[in-house]
């Protein structure tokens, strides 16, 4: 026997018993994006490495140490996508749907980052994101936040906090960068190694540091919000007003910066305390600077991405996952002739009621063994086609849940009877 091959660390199988939770989450998300008129876009999982270097930025954690980068057979450097925005913008420029147009888009799919796997942090994980192009005002920022808030309500999630901040214009950020760097240089000894390294390359990211000593230094650092330019301040006020109007509570977190460098003005995160260190389930903001950076004509843009694994963990911890779906009907049959009748009858049942879950027993087993299987699957009704039934063209209907007695019906009336039985059961449960 050959040695067994294992899956890759941090990349998980989603087994059938978990898949129903995924479908529940994805279906809710699709209802919500549809309700706001967002259109789906499906993009490649692999892109040229340069796309991510030029968008996310060379000096970010993602590009520096987390990307799955490889040379393909022609020697071209490709990467598994670590996030969805860069590919979306690349597609927008390529197909010309960004400039002078309005777009509301969404995507879902796997992303890849070579991080240290732990709870809520994987190497293959899934994001659902929305991107809105061509709208410069705070209204669209508010809309994507309202959309995410609606999803939490749709799912029944509790205890998610919204944090918002403004990074200002590029110029205001540059000025602030100087002020911050000067302040931090005066406290160099108290900074952690990562932060010291970032002082020249990406000092704003230091605001995000998890190191206790660095955070103590940051407590007295000049605030990004005090450095806002006038227009960004108005934008931020506009966003706050729209959130207030719609009853969405938020906290202003002046230290909120994004891991990705292409953001400007609005940034936000939805955070929970229920998931330990990996508490951010959704993060986004405005990234007006990205499109020209990738060679497109300036186009305002904003969006967010949510981590589906973290949302599923939260749903589970709050007891909000629906039970796995079970079959409505399980059809038992004995012998080759009865099997043929069973398959034909169940086909007509599926024809009449496409939403029912109908299983036909395949393979070996006497009726007792088949009935056991129907029970094990949690089916609601068993249809039995034994020797007697075959002889007089009938079928036995045996409710497997509840108190109803079993009944014998003609095969011509079987579908009608099953529909009635399943409908009745539906109203009972």
Listed ranges 120-128, 130-138, 141-149, 391-399: which one lies at the site for ligand ATP (CB under 6 A): 120-128
Q: Work out which of 131, 143, 309, 328 binds ligand ATP, going by CB under 6 A.
A: 309
What Cα–Cα distance (Å) separates residue 127 from each residue in 87, 353, 355?
13, 34, 29
Q: Which is nearer to ligand ATP, 109 or 259 (CB)?
A: 259
Q: Work out which of 109, 238, 254, 259 binds ligand ATP, going by CB under 6 A.
A: 259
| Residue 121 interacting with ligand ATP (CB under 6 A) | yes
Phi-psi region of 257 (alpha: psi -120 to 50; beta: other; left: phi over 0): beta
Q: Work out which of 168, 303, 307, 386 binds ligand ATP, going by CB under 6 A.
A: 307
Among candidates 143, 121, 98, which has minimal Cα distance to 304? 143
Question: What is the full DSSP assignment across 162-190?
Answer: EEEEE---HHHHHHHHHHHHHHHHTTGGG
Among candidates 154, 156, 214, 220, which has minimal Cα distance to 183? 220
Listed ranges 114-122, 132-140, 373-381, 409-417: which one lies at the site for ligand ATP (CB under 6 A): 114-122
Q: Work out which of 265, 310, 339, 380 binds ligand ATP, going by CB under 6 A.
A: 310
- Taking CB under 6 A as the rule, which mask of x and - marks residues 47-66 in contact with ligand ATP? --------------------
Torsions phi, psi for 142 (to 5 deg):
-65, -40
Shortest spacing between CB 270 and ligand ATP, in angstroms:
8
What residues contact residue 150 under an 8 Å CB cut-off, 6+ apart?
32, 35
**What whole-number distance in Å separates Cα of residue 253 and Cα of residue 255?**
5
| Residue 83 interacting with ligand ATP (CB under 6 A) | yes
End-to-end CA distance of the chain: give it in Å, rounded.
Answer: 49
Edge-to-edge strands of the sheet including 407-410?
358-360, 329-333, 381-385, 394-399, 407-410
Q: Which is nearer to ligand ATP, 18 or 179 (CB)?
A: 18
| Residue 283 interacting with ligand ATP (CB under 6 A) | yes
- Tell me: is residue 262 an annotated ligand-binding position: yes
| Residue 281 interacting with ligand ATP (CB under 6 A) | yes
**What whole-number distance in Å separates Cα of residue 57 and Cα of residue 329?**
55
| Residue 110 interacting with ligand ATP (CB under 6 A) | no
Residue corresponding to tokens 């294992």: 6
| Residue 115 interacting with ligand ATP (CB under 6 A) | yes
| Residue 154 interacting with ligand ATP (CB under 6 A) | no
| Binding residue ranges | 83-85, 113, 127, 131, 258, 262-263
Positions touching ligand ATP (CB under 6 A) are: 83, 113, 115, 120-122, 125, 127, 259-260, 278, 280-283, 305-307, 309-310
């Amino acid at each position: 026997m050959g040695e067994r091959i294992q899956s890759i660390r941090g990349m998980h199988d989603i087994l059938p018993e978990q898949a129903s939770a995924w479908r529940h989450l994805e279906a809710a998300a699709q209802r919500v994006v549809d309700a706001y008129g967002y259109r789906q876009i499906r993009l490649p999982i692999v892109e040229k490495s340069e796309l991510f270097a030029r968008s996310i930025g060379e000096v970010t954690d993602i590009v520096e140490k987390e990307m799955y980068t490889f040379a393909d057979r022609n020697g071209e450097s490709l990467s598994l996508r670590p996030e969805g925005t860069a590919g979306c913008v690349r597609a927008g420029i390529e197909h010309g749907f960004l400039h002078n147009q309005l777009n509301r888009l969404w995507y879902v799919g796997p992303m890849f980052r070579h991080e240290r796997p732990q709870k809520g942090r994987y190497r293959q994980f899934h994001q659902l994101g929305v991107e809105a192009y061509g709208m410069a005002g705070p209204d669209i920022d508010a809309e994507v936040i309202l959309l995410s808030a609606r999803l939490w309500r749709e799912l029944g999630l509790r205890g998610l906090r919204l944090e918002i901040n403004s990074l200002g214009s590029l110029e205001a950020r540059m000025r602030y960068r100087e002020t911050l760097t000067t302040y931090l240089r005066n406290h160099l000894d108290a900074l952690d190694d990562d932060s010291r390294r970032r002082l020249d390359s990406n000092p704003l990211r230091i605001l995000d540091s998890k190191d206790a000593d660095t955070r103590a230094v940051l407590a007295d650092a000049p605030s990004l919000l005090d450095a806002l330019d006038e227009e960004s301040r108005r934008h931020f006020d506009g966003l706050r007003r729209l959130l207030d109007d719609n009853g969405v509570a938020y906290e202003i977190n002046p230290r909120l910066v994004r891991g990705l460098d292409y953001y400007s003005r609005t940034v936000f995160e939805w955070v929970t305390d229920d998931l330990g260190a990996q508490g951010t389930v959704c993060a986004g903001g405005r990234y007006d600077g990205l499109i020209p950076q990738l060679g497109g004509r300036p186009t305002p843009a904003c969006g967010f991405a949510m981590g589906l694994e973290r949302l599923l963990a939260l749903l589970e911890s709050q007891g909000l996952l629906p039970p796995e779906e079970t079959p409505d009907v399980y059809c038992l049959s004995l012998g080759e002739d009865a099997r043929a009748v069973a398959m034909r009858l169940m086909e007509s049942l599926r024809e009449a009621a496409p939403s029912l879950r109908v299983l036909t027993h395949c393979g070996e087993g006497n009726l007792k063994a088949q009935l056991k299987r129907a029970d094990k699957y949690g089916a609601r009704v068993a249809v039995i086609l034994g020797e007697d039934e075959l002889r007089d063209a009938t079928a036995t209907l045996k409710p497997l849940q509840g108190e109803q007695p079993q009944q014998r019906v003609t095969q011509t009336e079987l579908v009608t009877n099953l529909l009635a039985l399943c409908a009745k059961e539906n109203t009972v449960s």
